Structure 1
């Protein structure tokens, strides 16, 4: 595609949904084009010319274009990106992003196009498109696969696979966001970054000195930043002589005596003393930096003088100190547009969908190694890590964390990884870290329940809701689930699991005795809030076997959840009764992933279909107004994106159905870790047919079942390598009952409803009328 640029000032080109698509692998030469025709753009300098390129789904990569020609004043060419067209109603589109770590957080890039040339920074100009940076194998050619007679289910599986694919960031694909030269470092469109040391994140009194040359009239810097770059941002608009700061009641002027000018170096001194903050420019005023500027000679020291950090910023070696360099390992991020950082909390869900579709285990390994290195000496884990850093080599000597539930989620992710790979060396490596977390959790029991009164520790994935202090059903059922799920890993590592089995039994009893409500017929939110329920807590209770061990059926609890939570657009994450305590009425695909898993595990096909059809099918429908071929972070009760423009419309934690459909509708499950023994137990869900494959370390397990005139025809093939053994069960329920029919295995009439498959063997099952 050629583009003819003919424009004066205020030219604006808007590229929509420029982030994902079907290619082969992460090939730096692969470009996904948004337009193949020649495009001419012109403006009178007052009204911008706007063109929208619609890609149809999310693409991820570095935008690219090449200038063919330009005339007149083309100094204000802008390229804007968005996940949905609605975002273009806002000049900044769906940015700048919070929680974006060291990414380019802005969604609008401006270029001063004055001559024919190639732009090597972010975009070039001829053939408007996106250079892919993720593995984009066509979804139908992934190692895992699924297809059935219900198109909604097909869309759901593929959309989850695409979501997983887009959250897998290959190593060395993140560019150095600071351009380092002998003069200093040029910073364009990037959020200020905190120093990476643990000590720096805890500092509340210090002083900072640097030199800056604003290139485009404005600069900013951050103070009192946490490791997610939530900070006080001070912005200095040198061109207009105005200073603003996060939390400041009003902007302040830059006095003429400061002699601050665009294009000239100036000195900045910041003094932070808890709530008292002073910033001086050329010894005169207070400010902070952002957008485009150059920096050099950075020095940070405590108030009494000892130096914390010093660097001239003229050699790229400092980039690692602020995590603004490239990424050194394949990793999975929370969301590929926003939250491009690694989280422990979503891995339990994402690892399942990854192994069911892309089977890119290097991304799983990279994520576990990075996040697992963030374990503190008490045993819990820090919930987040920037993917630009390398794993720590020793435990962190700190005694505080946040999002405590994510530490349990991480253990479940380890268990899932071991279930798939079956590598006993991995089990031995992770067993001590696992027991450290479980032992710490046991030390926090009060009256038999995991109890925390500190709100700093008891936030969760729903960061917009109040913390769940006291004895929370969510954290206790999640703890119980972790005790249950890690049994195989610990046992195969040679650990004595008796103590953990006993703790699980006792915890189940304590949860049911103290948190079950006969009135509600569910587990209450916590011992402090007893009139409402949380979706994930009750789903996890089922998965951990808590109600079942107390003569309460899983289906009855699922019925309560359906009554209290289900809306037309999906189930609420918290029942309406919790709203008076400040809990938002939102629909969470993340919490619903556990709900779906519990319904599948309980053979409740009515609830399974309800969840898939109400929540995930609309998001996976190409006709949906906000369709991105990816699943979303959260939804409002009406089914629209739940957090407005900042909502991530491709969030890995929402991809749960891809794993669950492969596990339960195809029916392929590991009976022993590493699929040394495996089962095929299909749940038919009223479908006419289903087929697909699940990758294992020994090869594929392939399944194809269908009903012809109500009679079953089925084939199953085991992995070709290794020494595996499978057991294939008849799908349930059968339209024609088994007692009214005959079953032929490889052409011979046999008895029973399950059959053994040896390594590499293919079996054929056919049902006939008796």
Structure 2
């Protein structure tokens, strides 16, 4: 069926060059599980959705659709009956509490994301047919449709053409089942987040539509040209034909959309433009200006008040105009067809907004240009020309073909299968977040193509020259084009420890998959990245710091000369040793092992504070400590049992509400963001401390699951079915509506629980050798079973605890080609297949079923 509507109005339908459902990989059409008819959003009064038509009318004009868990895709519905022309407003949200808000939980102003920047769409309906959005919606559990007209509309086939997988947890290749239903739900969080946040090549089309007539741009976050990042004091002009509502553009902007923003509205409402438009935000015949992220505030992306300039020139739809913006020492001169439109002075507000902003240029006179109309707007753009102060043309682009337009503006169609930081936002390839994502995939969905695709794609962008030579980009947009690598210099300069987390992801992937051939092509690049990072080891103290001749580094997990960053690099190098051995490079393996040992020794020598019983945050902050320091000193093997026990005990001082604040120097408060990312590292470390160092740490681990992660599953008004980005101390989403609730970095339990509770832990790559290290009774469970997928087949373990925790019985199956072992705990005796076990180690041969009985010795 040909779509009746594409984008935000009937007018745009004729411009659609292809059916947006023609995805590279289809994941089917997803329909809601339940729905509620009424006059407002409803949470607990729903009926099962069986596919029957839904009628909206003056009495029940609002339908709330619940998909139960986050899904991603192209929204659509079919109008089967309509009494007269009508308008509807469609909203999308991850959390229910967003639905009453005018913009739901959007818009997304930080990046384009090859998806809809807005969470509200309005459609003018005139006849029966398929109504389909032009844009992908990246993640939502909820969808509402509100009839805005005094009429009647019947809807059918409501849902999403899915762009990502949406498997029930019970149908994933790997499995976890326990006697605690909350733990089972927690395990499923990371899996769903990874499914929603990983995208196949071809399943993220460009948000711009390039035709011979020019480029059609529907309302979205502006996309900037990477060719003008260092330009200043220029004039940028372009031709535009407004299709609906108005046109938006930027100048003096960073590569991300932070800079001078202009939105110019038309003289009157289009016949097809929905009438329920926020005219306070978009007055007719007005130039709306702001300097910053957008013309609305979005939680952490705040901007100052908008400045409105009523215009004497009236712009009509479907007419070509040439708009010119000249940057001067005092402001921005705007003209239309060589006629003065407005002068926007650079004020104190502008100066304040440009100062100290990491993502902008730091100057209201310098930076690039871009295009992106506001919500419910759409316009053609072509013939972009930039001239210097002396009149010289320094840039020209008629914008007639995709190859000349999309890559330059960072919105080319996705050509690699990759994993993003989150489904709805930021939709960037954050390589530090990927640490959790890769481990989650290996423990649940087994979509190794996403892991290897992400690794290969990121290494294609390895920096060829200084500064930061051989680094890889930390948050690459999906639509970036390698031809413009120089335009992404900002991608290499910050959060340097993300390089280490990314390398550790490669090492962890190899431990799970033993994929030597898949990693062989990137091995030389990986070694180069390691060498680049080793140059950051301070020769005077052996800690990870900066490097002479390059900018001062910034770290995410801590400070230069700090315990977290130094221990993380030690951990990373250890994870890479098995790859070096598999590549038959013993000298490389020896080097990595030796440097890792030296880093741990330096951390203990310079940063262990025996008086306080903690690892100091850094040389400059000897009395402060952090969760990241605790986690990575344990996971890297830097901390001994005494140090680990003391560090974990100090966590109590960081306790705040349902979780823990990240550092000792952070003040308490109701709005402290409790990081699921950092606490994921900590959860893994707590189990490691128990299993490897014999530390009594599982009470803290159980508390994290029972208090922190349970908040993601036990509050239906917030629950998305996926793992969250941050939490507040009260257990609600930690950046309000902006919080990404499909964020794999919050899904650590998905890999920790099978590995450390059921206890299936790889010792050699591909589980050729594996250890059984359970903690079932210790976590208060009566039973726990898990299926771990290996290159040899599935390892299946089923634990049953009885007699008040005195008897632990396991049924184990492991495939041929693997060899497992189990160490009998002190104070227990064991029988294997009915025979008494002598010694403390039980061998678990592959290719057969083993019955294990472990009993406490009274």
User: Normalising by structure 2, what TM-score?
Assistant: 0.77
Distance in 2 of aligned mates of 1:268 and 1:323:
23
Bigger strand share: 2
Contact 1:531–1:578 under 8 Å retained in 2: no
**Deviations 1:188-225 (CA, angstroms, capped at 9, x unpaired):** 23211123x5x544545654332112222222123344
1:40 alignment counterpart: 55
1:107 alignment counterpart: 119
1:713 has 2:809 as partner = yes
2:130 alignment counterpart: 118
1:362 has 2:392 as partner = no
1:51 has 2:63 as partner = yes
1:266 alignment counterpart: 321
2:261 alignment counterpart: 233
Q: 1:759 to 1:272 in 2, by over 3 A?
A: farther
Q: 1:276 to 1:470 in 2, by over 3 A?
A: farther
Which of 379, 382, 401 pairs up with 2:470? Answer: 379
How far residue 166 of structure 1 moved from its aligned partner, in angstroms, is 1.6
Q: 1:282 to 1:42 in 2, by over 3 A?
A: farther
Q: Residue 485 of structure 1 aligns to a residue in which SS?
A: helix
1:145 alignment counterpart: 175
Distance in 2 of aligned mates of 1:500 and 1:392:
34
1:483 has 2:573 as partner = yes
Contact 2:32–2:67 under 8 Å retained in 1: no
1:516 alignment counterpart: 608
Which of 62, 66, 74 pairs up with 1:62? Answer: 74
Q: Residue 714 of structure 1 aligns to a residue in which SS?
A: strand
Distance in 2 of aligned mates of 1:760 and 1:339:
45
1:697 alignment counterpart: 791
Q: Residue 853 of structure 2 aligns to a residue in which SS?
A: strand
> What pairs with 1:242-257 in structure 2 (closer than 5 Å)?
242-247=286-291, 251-256=307-312
Distance in 2 of aligned mates of 1:529 and 1:300:
51
User: Normalising by structure 1, what TM-score?
Assistant: 0.86
> What pairs with 1:750-761 in structure 2 (closer than 5 Å)?
750-761=837-848
Contact 2:431–2:502 under 8 Å retained in 1: yes
**Deviations 1:651-687 (CA, angstroms, capped at 9, x unpaired):** 1100111101111112112211122222222222242
Q: 1:768 to 1:98 in 2, by over 3 A?
A: same
Q: How many residues align?
A: 719
2:712 alignment counterpart: 619
Contact 1:525–1:531 under 8 Å retained in 2: yes
Q: Residue 579 of structure 1 aligns to a residue in which SS?
A: coil
Worse overlay, 662-671 or 381-390: 381-390
Unpaired runs of 5+ residues, structure 2, are: 1-8, 10-24, 36-48, 136-153, 268-283, 292-303, 345-370, 691-696
Which of 597, 612, 630 pairs up with 2:684? Answer: 597
Contact 1:224–1:232 under 8 Å retained in 2: yes
CA RMSD of aligned residues (A): 3.2
Q: 1:324 to 1:496 in 2, by over 3 A?
A: closer
1:471 alignment counterpart: 561
How far residue 530 of structure 1 moved from its aligned partner, in angstroms, is 3.7
Contact 1:102–1:190 under 8 Å retained in 2: no
1:135 has 2:165 as partner = yes
Distance in 2 of aligned mates of 1:753 and 1:459:
44
2:341 alignment counterpart: 285
Q: 1:31 to 1:687 in 2, by over 3 A?
A: closer
How far residue 296 of structure 1 moved from its aligned partner, in angstroms, is 3.2
Distance in 2 of aligned mates of 1:97 and 1:143:
33
2:662 alignment counterpart: 573
Distance in 2 of aligned mates of 1:505 and 1:356:
29
Contact 1:233–1:289 under 8 Å retained in 2: no
Contact 1:574–1:585 under 8 Å retained in 2: no
Distance in 1 of aligned mates of 2:682 and 2:54:
49
Contact 1:458–1:469 under 8 Å retained in 2: yes
Q: 1:67 to 1:545 in 2, by over 3 A?
A: same
Which of 501, 504, 527 pairs up with 1:435? Answer: 527
Q: 1:677 to 1:275 in 2, by over 3 A?
A: farther
Unpaired runs of 5+ residues, structure 1, are: 1-8, 10-24, 462-467
How far residue 250 of structure 1 moved from its aligned partner, in angstroms, is 5.5
1:27 alignment counterpart: 27
1:12 alignment counterpart: none
Q: Residue 170 of structure 2 aligns to a residue in which SS?
A: helix
Distance in 1 of aligned mates of 2:406 and 2:487:
22
Distance in 1 of aligned mates of 2:488 and 2:61:
56
Q: 1:511 to 1:224 in 2, by over 3 A?
A: farther
> What pairs with 1:47-446 in structure 2 (closer than 5 Å)?
49-74=61-86, 76-100=87-111, 101-122=113-134, 126-195=156-225, 197=226, 199-204=227-232, 206-239=234-267, 240-247=284-291, 251-256=307-312, 258-272=313-327, 277-283=332-338, 284-285=340-341, 289-291=372-374, 292-301=377-386, 303=388, 305=392, 307-308=394-395, 310-313=397-400, 318-377=405-464, 378-389=469-480, 400-446=492-538
Worse overlay, 239-248 or 285-294: 285-294
Worse overlay, 410-419 or 261-270: 261-270
Distance in 2 of aligned mates of 1:651 and 1:274:
43
Q: Residue 502 of structure 1 aligns to a residue in which SS?
A: helix
Contact 1:26–1:170 under 8 Å retained in 2: no
1:607 has 2:700 as partner = yes
Worse overlay, 437-446 or 151-160: 437-446
How far residue 570 of structure 1 moved from its aligned partner, in angstroms, is 1.2
Contact 2:754–2:760 under 8 Å retained in 1: yes
Distance in 2 of aligned mates of 1:203 and 1:469:
34
Distance in 2 of aligned mates of 1:244 and 1:452:
44
How far residue 311 of structure 1 moved from its aligned partner, in angstroms, is 3.2
Q: 1:588 to 1:712 in 2, by over 3 A?
A: same
Contact 1:167–1:336 under 8 Å retained in 2: yes
Contact 1:374–1:396 under 8 Å retained in 2: no
Q: 1:358 to 1:39 in 2, by over 3 A?
A: same
1:19 alignment counterpart: none
How far residue 646 of structure 1 moved from its aligned partner, in angstroms, is 0.6
Q: 1:112 to 1:671 in 2, by over 3 A?
A: same
2:41 alignment counterpart: none
Q: 1:398 to 1:590 in 2, by over 3 A?
A: closer
**Deviations 1:619-670 (CA, angstroms, capped at 9, x unpaired):** 122x443111111110112221111111111111001111011111121122
Q: 1:403 to 1:62 in 2, by over 3 A?
A: same
Q: 1:391 to 1:600 in 2, by over 3 A?
A: farther
Q: Residue 810 of structure 2 aligns to a residue in which SS?
A: strand
How far residue 159 of structure 1 moved from its aligned partner, in angstroms, is 2.0
**Deviations 1:545-565 (CA, angstroms, capped at 9, x unpaired):** 2222xx74312211112x222
